[in-house]
Structure formats: C-alpha cells, structure tokens
C-alpha cells in the first residue's frame, strides 16, 4: 500500500463530491418546489377566474331572464366588477355598449366575446350527463314571463302547500319544507323519497294550473300547434300541455322529438317579450404585477446562475474546511501506525468524536500488543531456561563419559533417562498449551463414573504420597457421572493432586472430593500444605510461574501444570478457581457442566 491515498479514495475528495451532489439535489429540489408551487398557484388562480366568470355570466343571465330590457343593469355590472376585480362590458350584438364597469375598456374590446347572455339559449348544466343535457330545456328557468303568479294565487297555493305539509307530518311523521319556484308556485321537498307523500295528503288544487297558468298554457298550446303544422306533424287530440311543459295524450303517431322541439320553440316565442334581448359579454382581466416575478430574460437567467454558483462555492468551501479538520487526525493516526520504531507511538486524543474514539481504540490496541509481545518474550525466555538445565545435565554427563571421567554404568544411564523424560514432559506440556491456544485441542468426551476415575488417579499417586508421609482421602458418592474426555480429565486431576502432594509436608493431608451442584459437577482438591499468599493467587495459573522462585524445577515442577489445568477445564466448558490460607489449607475447585 502506498503512503499517499489515491484521489478517488481520499476522504476529502469524497466529501467534496458528496457536498456538490447534495447542493445540486437541493437546488434542483428547490427549483422543482418553486415550479410546483407556482403551477399550483396558477391553477388556483385560473380556477378562481373560471369561478368568477361563471358567477358573472350566471348573474347577468338571471337579470336578463327577469327583465324585459337591460335598463338598470349598470349597478349589477359595477357590483360584479368590484367583487371579482374584473373589467366587465356588456354590448348588443352590434357591439354597442349597454353597460361597462370601466368606460375606457369599452372602447378597446377584444376580438371575441367571453359569452353570449341570452336567457332563451343558455348552456346545459355541466352537472348533468350528456343524455340529460340533450333532453334538458335551453331556456333559463328564471324566465317565467306570463307564468308568474299574482299575489292572490301565490297565497292560495301556499295555504294548500302548508296543509299538505301538516297532513304529511301528522300521518307519517315526515317533515317537508316548501320551496317557491321562480314563477311563485310552491313545491314540497323532503329528505325522504317521494313515496312518503300518501294520496290522502295530496291536494288536487295544488297540482292544478291557476287561471294565470292556464291562460299561459293555452297560449303555448296554440304556438305548439302552429309549429307542428309547419313541420307537418300530427299532434294527439286533444292536445294538453301540463305544468312542467309536458305534452299529455297519446303521441304514438307523432315524433316525440319534434313535439318537444315545438314546445321549446313555442316557449321561446311566448317569452321573447318578457326577457332582455341577447347581449355580448366581455370580461377582461387586469394586468398583474406578479408576472414580473417569472421573468425569464437573460438578466433573470444570469441572476439564477450567479446565485447557484455562489451556493456551490460556499458549500465546497465549508466542506473543504470541515473535511480538512476530519482528515488531519486520520493522517496523524496513519503516521503513528507507520512509525519506524519498534514500539507503537501513542496517539494524542484531542477530540471526542468518532476520530477521537478511533485514536483511543488504537492506543488500547497498541498497549495490548505491547503486553502480548512482552509476554511472548518472557515465555520464550522461560522456555529456554526450562530446557537449558536438563540439556546442560545431559551434555555434561555425556562429555564426562566421553573424557573417561564418568563410567557408563546403569546409574549414569538412569540419570540421562530422567533428564530426557523431563525434556519430553516439558515439550508435551507446551504442545498441549499450543493446541489449546490455537483451538485445535481435540477432546473425546464420554460418560465417566467420577468416583472410579478419582480412585484410579489416587492409586497412581499413592506411592509418591506415602514416600512423603502425606495422607490421601477421597469423598465422592457412588453413581456420580460426568461427560468428559477421560485422558484429559485424568491429566487435570493428576496435575492438581501431584501439585498438592508436592507442597504438603509430612503428616499432612490431601483430600479429593466430588459433588453435584446446580447444573454442574464440582471437584475439589484440598491440601494442608504451605499455601499461597493472597498477592500471588492471580498468578497461579500463569505459565512458568512458581510461588517460590528459589525452588528448583525438581521440587517445583516445570511451571506449566496449572496452566494446562486451566486450558483443559475451559476446553470442557468449565472453570477452575483457587482459594488459599497460608499454612492452613489450599483448595482448587474444578466445575464441569453436568
């Protein structure tokens, strides 16, 4: 790996690229939101404009339907102009001004009118379907003409309507309300279906045309007959036109569409003198200053580009400053890690962010590595020291025998064999520890009777104990079993037992006991020997450690036995601990999972 980080992998470069992308996305999102908001505002304004246009047209059509001419329409035009903010001009078909909210605008009319105000030819309702629009009347319902009822007839019909409302409530509990049509005729409306109007409550007089309506319908009948004659259509006899302008009678011989057209034409002819003549409507929107905000001139475009450039420049500058502060401690970490000295240089922790945590973690790692290196050096030194003595003895005796200073008798061979066995013992122990450290120590567990196993181990060490005047006692119940490797478990208990015998003076006692505890089996090796000082207890299981450094390895062992005990117990999933009172007792406790 090179000392310099490639530009494409540099944290500074990636931060700069990220900041530029974020800036571009932010600018794009802001532009999109602006355009979207402007579009929504324009659509809302357009909807308001359409609503205002519909209101203006509806109001002026109502005026034309209820007046025989346009006199007095100026006040209505001015009120509509003030409420909508629009310029309104009303002219004849020849474009002669009838009324205008702003006189100058009447002199500069647009080429096309906004709408034609004609109550006898209105547009079908947008709320209706296409089929309903084709069948609906094109005459404004407010244009009633000769069908407008006088006050006496209105009062009579209202009394009949109130009687029907009272009857309906008394008999069915349904409340109805009276709505007066444009002609003054009352109609009943209820929130329920029309089936609620029972026949007993219906008034025949309420549905019968009044004298005024009868005269107007008779006039309309004559107009329909004249239309039918012109179209050579035979009408049903007798011809009766009911309220609602429906033709009653058998019309099987006549074209229903032609009859309906004749009724519509007759109504227009009948109402022509009661409504205002058709007029042209011009609705002009005033110029809006808001359009200047959407200037797309070169100057406006330049302002947008300059603003975008400033945003990008500021973003890159801020990112460069922050990235430099972030990269500086990382570079210090890199230089410290690549220091030429053998020991790792401690990195000063100057921040409490992620970089500071990384520096602290690297310092801890460095300290652990130094401790590990120191332990490795000590271990190599201890191994060399342990192997040097038996090798020196073997070489000394061989040199003496070769020089004729020692006889090669059985005593010499026995001494050499003991030194070789000591070397073999140390090498075997080191192999066990190496396999345990590497995780390659293989166990062959099986169900064992713990009492029998303890007896075998005691039998193997009883001669040594008797030679030292040490008593061995066993306390283990029958039927106590454990799942473990018999060879390795014998090695564990053998090391503990031999260690206890070696440190117990004559007339002392060593006790092996086993019992079942919660979820485990506990094995204790207790002796009444010299014991271990409290300060030395944490180092008991260290390799090549002896409580008395002055002891020889012939009386103190190789210093690997207890380390092997701990590794083998851990390999079985258990643990080992020690407690000691000097010159009273020492207890090693092994816990194995049951």
pLDDT in tens, 341-382: 556 667 776 666 666 777 777 778 877 777 777 767 766 766
Residue 455 CB: number of other CB atoms within 10 A? 14
Answer yes or no: is pLDDT of 513 > 80: yes
Please give the average per-residue pLDDT across 431-460, as a whole number: 83
Inter-residue contact 19 to 319 (CB < 8 Å)? yes
Each as own residue / partner, the long-range contacts of residues 130-138 (CB below 8 Å, 24 or more positions apart, any chain) are 135/260, 137/245, 137/264, 137/267, 138/264
Tokens 């909807």 appear where? Answer: 47
Please give the average per-residue pLDDT across 554-565, as a whole number: 67
Please give the average per-residue pLDDT across 53-71, as a whole number: 91
CA distance 358 to 349: 9
DSSP three-state, residue 112: coil
* Dihedral, 220, 226, 230, 235 alpha carbons, nearest 10: 80
Q: Which of the residue ranges 103-112, 468-477, 501-510, 569-578 would you say has the lowest mean pLDDT? A: 103-112
Residues 214-249: pLDDT tens digits? 888 888 888 888 888 888 777 777 777 777 777 765
* Cα dihedral 535, 536, 541, 542 sign: positive
Answer yes or no: is pLDDT of 457 > 70: yes
Note the pLDDT of residue 22: 79
Answer yes or no: is pLDDT of 552 > 50: no
Inter-residue contact 465 to 500 (CB < 8 Å)? no
Please give the average per-residue pLDDT across 76-88, as a whole number: 90
The residue among 202, 170, 201, 176 whose CA lies nearest residue 189 is 176
- Mean pLDDT score of the chain, rounded to an integer? 79
Q: Residue 284 has which token pair?
A: 């002009």
Q: Residue 128 has which token pair?
A: 């209706």
Angle at 238 between CA 233 and CA 241, to 5 degrees: 80
Q: Does 10 or 100 have the greater pLDDT score?
A: 100
Domains of the chain (ranges; CATH) run: 11-122+280-287 (no CATH), 130-273 (no CATH), 354-436 (1.10.287.130), 442-593 (3.30.565.10)
Q: Does 113 or 298 have the greater pLDDT score?
A: 113
CA distance 184 to 154: 6
CA distance 102 to 89: 8
Residues 290-340: pLDDT tens digits? 444 444 457 656 766 777 777 778 777 877 777 777 777 777 777 777 766
Note the pLDDT of residue 199: 67
Note the pLDDT of residue 254: 47
585 forms beta bridges with 581
Inter-residue contact 574 to 591 (CB < 8 Å)? yes
Residues 246-292: pLDDT tens digits? 776 544 444 677 788 888 888 888 888 999 999 999 998 876 544 44
Residues 192-203: pLDDT tens digits? 654 455 666 777
């Amino acid at each position: 790996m090179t000392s310099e980080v490639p530009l494409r992998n540099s944290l500074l470069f990636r931060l700069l690229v990220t900041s530029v992308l974020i800036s571009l996305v932010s600018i794009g999102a802001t532009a999109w939101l602006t355009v979207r908001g402007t579009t929504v505002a324009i659509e809302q304004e357009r909807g308001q404009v359409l609503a205002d246009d519909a209101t203006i047209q509806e109001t002026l059509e109502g005026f034309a339907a209820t007046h025989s001419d346009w006199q007095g329409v100026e006040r209505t035009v001015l009120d509509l102009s003030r409420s909508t903010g629009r310029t309104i001009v009303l002219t004849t078909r020849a474009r002669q001004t009838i009324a205008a909210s702003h006189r100058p605008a009447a002199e500069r009319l647009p080429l096309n009118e906004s709408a034609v105000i004609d109550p006898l030819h209105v547009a079908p309702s947008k709320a209706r379907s296409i089929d309903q629009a084709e069948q609906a009347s094109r005459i404004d319902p407010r244009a009633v003409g000769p069908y407008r009822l006088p006050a006496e007839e209105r009062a009579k019909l209202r009394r009949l309507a109130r009687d029907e409302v009272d009857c309906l409530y008394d008999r069915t509990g349904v409340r109805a309300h009276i709505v007066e049509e444009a002609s003054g005729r009352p109609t009943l409306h209820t929130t329920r279906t029309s089936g609620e109007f029972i026949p007993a409550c219906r008034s025949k007089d309420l549905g019968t045309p009044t004298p005024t309506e009868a005269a107007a319908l008779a006039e309309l009948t004559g107009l329909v007959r004249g239309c039918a004659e012109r179209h050579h259509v035979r009408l049903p006899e007798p011809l009766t036109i009911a309220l609602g302008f429906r033709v009653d009678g058998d019309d099987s011989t006549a074209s229903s569409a032609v009859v309906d057209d004749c009724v519509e034409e007759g109504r227009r002819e009948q109402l022509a003198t009661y409504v205002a003549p058709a007029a042209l409507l011009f609705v002009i929107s005033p110029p809006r200053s808001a359009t200047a905000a959407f200037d797309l001139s070169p100057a406006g475009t330049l302002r947008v580009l300059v603003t975008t450039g400033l945003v990008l420049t500021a973003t890159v500058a801020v990112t460069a400053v922050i990235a430099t502060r972030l990269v500086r401690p990382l570079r210090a970490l890199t230089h410290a890690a690549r220091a030429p000295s053998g020991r790792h240089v401690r990195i000063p922790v100057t921040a409490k962010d992620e970089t500071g945590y990384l520096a602290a973690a690297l310092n801890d790692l460095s300290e652990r590595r130094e401790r590990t290196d120191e332990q490795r050096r000590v271990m190599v030194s201890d191994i060399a020291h342990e192997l040097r003595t038996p090798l020196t003895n073997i070489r000394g005796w061989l040199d003496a025998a070769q020089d004729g200073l020692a006889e090669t008798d059985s005593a010499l061979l026995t001494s050499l064999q003991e030194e070789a066995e000591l070397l073999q013992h140390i090498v075997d122990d080191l192999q066990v520890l190496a396999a345990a450290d590497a995780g390659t120590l293989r166990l062959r567990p099986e169900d064992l009777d713990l009492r029998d196993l303890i007896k075998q181990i005691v039998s193997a060490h009883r001669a040594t104990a008797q030679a030292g005047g040490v008593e061995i006692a066993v306390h283990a119940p029958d039927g106590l079993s454990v799942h473990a490797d018999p060879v390795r478990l014998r090695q564990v208990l053998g090391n503990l037992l031999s260690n206890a015998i070696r440190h117990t003076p004559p007339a002392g006692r060593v006790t092996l006991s086993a019992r079942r505890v919660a979820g485990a089996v506990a094995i204790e090796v207790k002796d009444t020997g010299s014991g271990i000082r409290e300060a030395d207890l944490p180092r008991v299981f260290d390799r090549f450690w002896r409580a008395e450094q002055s002891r020889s390895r012939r009386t103190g062992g190789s210093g690997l036995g207890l380390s092997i005990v701990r590794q083998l117990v851990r390999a079985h999933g258990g643990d080992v601990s020690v407690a000691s009172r000097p010159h009273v007792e020492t207890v090693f406790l092994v816990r194995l999972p049951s």
